[in-house]
Amino acid sequence: MARLLAVPGASSTTKFLVCLRDPYQVVASFKRVGGRLGEGLDYDIAFNTTMNRELVEATSEPEVRRALLFEYVTSRVAPFLSHRNVLPVRYERWFEEPDALLKDVGAFVGIPLRDLQVRLRPPQDDTSLSSRERDLVRNLCPSAEAIGYAL
């Protein structure tokens, strides 16, 4: 997941690549990672203070908070995705069509990219989510459809 809010010092020429991912995969990843993300909270840094407080106030259930964490971030990122200086990229494209994606990213930033310097791991199956957790994602993550993921 990505964070994109008002970025101090960002000019109109600043470009943002925002990687979007299937909500079931994101929530399953939070669960697998454990720790604060497993609890449905983001890292304990000043940037996340308000969000973490709101998530704790919303529920004491980690399963619910994991879905709400996805929704909290996604609902705030989605309005920016249509801006000219933002390139939304579906995470799955890194594995399905890496060459075409590199070409798109290169065109966006104005520099031809020839090789992916970072090695990404393919997404794991989201079977670690229970049917209740899948229902929570379906019911609590309406922004998923705004970023192109039908639940």
Q: What is the pLDDT of residues 18-52, one digit of tens each?
A: 999 999 999 999 999 999 999 999 999 999 999 99
* pTM for this model (two decimals): 0.85
Give mean pLDDT in consecutive 10-residue pieces for the chain, a chain of 151 residues.
Answer: 49 86 94 95 96 98 98 97 96 90 93 77 76 97 96 91
Q: How much is the pLDDT for 114? A: 79
Bin 148: left if φ > 0, else alpha if -120 < ψ < 50, else beta.
Answer: left
Q: How much is the pLDDT for 13? A: 80
